[in-house]
Amino acid sequence: MKENLIAPSILSADFARLGEEVDNVLASGADIVHFDVMDNHYVPNLTIGPLVCAALRKHGVTAAIDVHLMIKPVDRIVPDFAAAGASYITFHPEASEHVDRTLQLIRSEGCKSGLVFNPATSLSVLQHVIDKVDMILLMSVNPGFGGQSFLPSTLDKLRQARKLIDESGRDIRLEIDGGVKVDNIGEIHAAGADTFVAGSAIFGAARDSDPNCYDTVISAMRAALADSPS
Ligand code: DX5
Ligand code: ZN
């Protein structure tokens, strides 16, 4: 298994002071920045685009930025995110007319590519494009909003995805997104995930106590990961 990465979703950050929020969460031990892009078309919510990604780079963020596109269509905006400093670009197969082409486009722009699977979406497309993905992202909630509850059926799907990755022998991350908390991250890891998105668990919890200190929740997640079998 790969090194575990904790990826705070900035969807739950304070957007009015986003640069500071990202600095603080990275200083508290987070590994990569999960950047949720929503278009009020593919999902019923509207968030941030390439200008905000570029602004984080300009602010001095050097950690990997994991851009999760919940938009349709996909291709037009890929070069803009690459130019804005995205490290990973992942998209939902339902949102692209030509999934293979979009995966190739992302890599040709110098980014790592990934596919995102909604709770009701089959992993079957991977059979045809697994050589073109660097990340498989399983949604453990329906996309569009932070703060939803983890869908337990995702654990079986994680085991299925883990098996596909291991059998392929390829260097592919397995990321989980939605409802990840201190009390379930261990079983999610045991089911095969190595990259953990958490929005409300990190930003929401800390805001009520010390708005600049995310150490407690991130340390608790690391401790739960260390305790869980891999
Ligand atoms: C949902 C987003 C998630 C979201 C997760 O569509 O893709 O990244 O921010 O939020 P929590 O961790 O609160 O479920
Ligand atoms: Zn996300």
Q: Which domains does the chain have, with CATH numbers?
A: 5-227 (3.20.20.70)
Nearest CA to ligand 1 atom 4: 146
Give the model's pLDDT for residue 230: 72
Annotate 5-22 with b (16+ C-beta within 10 A) or e (fewer).
bbbbbbbbbeeeebeebb
User: Is pLDDT of 202 > 80?
Assistant: yes
pLDDT band at 1 (very low <50, low <70, confident <90, very high): confident
Residue in 66, 134, 177, 194 annotated catalytic:
177
Q: Token pair of 119, please?
A: 């709770």
Task: State how far the Cα of 230 lies from the Cα of 167, in Å rounded to an integer.
Answer: 16
Q: Name the residue type at position 138.
A: L
Cα-to-centroid distance, 82 and ligand 1 (Å): 22
Share of the chain above pLDDT 70, in %: 97
Closest C-alpha residue for ligand 1 atom 6: 143
pLDDT of residue 209: 64
36 carries an active-site annotation: yes
pTM over 0.95? The answer is yes
d(CA 20, CA 156): 37
Q: Report yes or no: 136 and 168 within 8 Å, Cβ to Cβ.
A: no
Sheet strand arrangement including 65-70: 5-8, 195-198, 173-177, 135-139, 112-117, 88-91, 65-70, 33-38
> Hey, which residues does 33 pair with through a beta bridge?
65
Structure token pair of residue 109: 């722009």
What is the total residue count of the chain?
230
Q: Which residues pair with 7 in a beta bridge?
A: 197
Looking at residue 201, what DSSP letter applies? I
Instruction: Check pocket membership of 180 for ligand 1, CB cut-off 6 A.
Output: yes
List the Cα angle 142/146/149 in 5-degree steps.
Answer: 60
Residue 170 has pLDDT above 90, yes or no: yes
Instruction: Ligand 1 pocket test: pick from 32, 89, 176, 177 the residue with the most ligand atoms within 8 Å of its Cβ.
Output: 177
Catalytic residue among 23, 36, 183, 227, which? 36
163, pLDDT greater than 80: yes
pLDDT score for 131: 98
Model confidence band, residue 204 (pLDDT cutoffs 50, 70, 90):
confident
215 is catalytic: no
Q: Measured from the CB, is residue 21 less than 6 Å from ligand 1?
A: no
* pLDDT per position as a tens digit, 27-72: 999 999 999 999 999 999 999 999 999 999 999 999 999 999 999 9
